[in-house]
Amino acid sequence: MILLIAGLCGVVTGWFDLNEFNQASEVVSDLFIRMLKLISLPIIFFALVSTLSGMGNASDVKRLGGQVLKYTVITTLVAATVALALYLFIAPAGNISPLAAAAEPSGPSGSYWSYLIGVIPSSFIEPFYTHNVMGVLFLALLLSAATMALENQHKEVLHSFFDSMFAAIMKMTGLILKLMPLAVWAFVNQFIHDLQGQAILQDLALYLLCVLLANIVQAGLILPLFLKFKGISPWQTMKAMWPALTVAFFAKSSAAALPYAVECAEKDMKVQSKVARFSLPLCITVNMNACAAFILITVLFVSQSNGVMFSPLELLSWIVIASIAAIGNAGVPMGCYMLSSAFLAAMGVPLQLLVIILPFYALIDMLESAINVWSDSCVTAMVNADLLPDMSLREGESDKATQVDHH
C-alpha cells in the first residue's frame, strides 16, 4: 500500500513537471542506485557460496542430494532456455532487436575467446571492483567447490562464516529497502517526466506477458513432460500437492509452504518420508525455476530498454547466469527481484524501469512462489521414482503405492 501511494505521488509530481521535484527525484534516485551497487555483487557472491557450501558430503546425502541437484539443474536450465526463447520471440524491448548488436558485444572487446577468458579474474578482488559479474560467479562456484571438499571441521566453520556474511548483507539490504517508498516516488517522477508517447507502456505489457508465459509454459508443459517421462501422473501429482501450492501462492513464499509440502508429499503423493524430508527442504533452497525465468527476462528487458546490446554468445550465457543465480538465491522476500537489481546495478544499467516493474512484482511473486513449489514437488517425485520406483505416484498405480514397504 505504501509503495502504491508513493507511486501515485510520483505520477502526480511528474505530471506537474516542477523543477524542484525533478531535481529532488534525481538526487534520491542517484543515492538509491549507489546503495544498490554497494551491495549488488556481495549479494550475488554470498548468496551462492552460503547455499552451496552448506551441502553435506555423507554417502546418503550424496546419493539423494545428487539426484535432487541433477533434476534441479536440468529443470532450471530448461526454464531459463524457455524464457530466452520467449523473450527473443516476443521482443518486449520495443523496436530493439535482441540480436542487433551481435558484432558489438557489451562485454569485453575482442573475440568470443577473449570474452570467455575474461570470466576468469587475475586476482580475487578484481571482479568486485571491475563489476565483472561472470567473474564473481566463477569465484563463488570455485570457492564453494573447495569448501565442500574440506573436512567437516573446516567446512562447518567456513559455511557458518559465509552464512553470517550473507545474513549481514541481507540486513543491509533490508535497511536500504526501507527507503524503497522514497525511491519509488523518485523513479516514477522521473519516468513520468521523461515519458515520450505510450511506447514504453506497450513494452511493459509485453514484458509482463513474456514473464507470465515463461512461467506458465514451464509449469503447465515442461514439468508435466518430465513427470510423464518418468511414468508419473502430472494430474495426480498436482492434485496431491494442491494445498501446498495454494499456501505458496497466497503467502508468496515457498519456505512458508514447506510444512504443507512435506505433509502432502508423504500422505497424498506417497513419497517415502526420508525422500520428502530431504528433497523438499533442499529444493526450497536451490530449486527455483520461476526465479531463473524472471531474472533472465528482467535483466535483458531493462538492459535493452536502456540501450545495452548483447551478442548471441552473451544471450546464451545468460541462460547459465540466470540458472546459477536462481540456484544460489536464498528464500528471502523479493529474492528474484533483488538479484535482478543486483545484476543490473553491477552492469551499470539505470534502474528506473526496474522500479516501475516493482508494483507488478507482487502479483508475479505469488505465481512464482507457487510454481517454485510445483517444481520442488516434481523434482521430489522424480527422485522418489529413481530411488524407490514402487513408492512413486505412477499412473494407474497410485492406490497400490501405499501397500509397498521398502527397506
Which pTM value belongs to this model? 0.70
181, with CB counted inside 10 A (0-12, 13-18, 19+), is middle
Q: Are 372 and 254 in contact (CB under 8 A)?
A: yes
What is the C-alpha to C-alpha distance for residues 128 and 191, in angstroms, rounded to an integer?
A: 30
Q: Looking at residue 39, what is its pLDDT? A: 78
Q: Please, which residues have CB within 8 angstroms of residue 363's CB and are 6 or more apart in sequence?
A: none
High-pLDDT (> 90) share of the chain, %: 20
Question: Which pLDDT value is given to residue 301?
Answer: 93
Rg of the chain on CA atoms, in Å: 22
The whole-angstrom distance between residue 193's C-alpha and the CA centroid of its chain comes to: 31
Highest mean pLDDT among 98-107, 120-129, 193-202: 120-129
Residue at grid coordinates 512461467: 215
Torsion sign (Cα): 135, 140, 145, 150: positive
Q: Note the pLDDT of residue 258.
A: 78
Predicted confidence band of residue 102 (pLDDT cuts 50, 70, 90) = very low
The conformation of residue 221, written as its DSSP 8-state character, comes to I
pLDDT attached to residue 210: 94
Q: Is the pLDDT of residue 390 over 60?
A: no
Non-local (6+) Cβ contacts of 249 within 8 A are 366, 367, 369, 370
- Distance, in Å, from the CA atom of 405 to the CA atom of 206, rounded to the nearest integer, reads 51
Residues 292 and 345: their CA atoms lie apart, in Å, by 18
Q: Is the pLDDT of residue 259 over 70?
A: yes
Per-residue DSSP letter, 394? B
Cβ(58)–Cβ(65) below 8 Å:
no
| Contact by Cβ (8 Å): 369, 252 | yes
pLDDT band at 261 (very low <50, low <70, confident <90, very high): confident
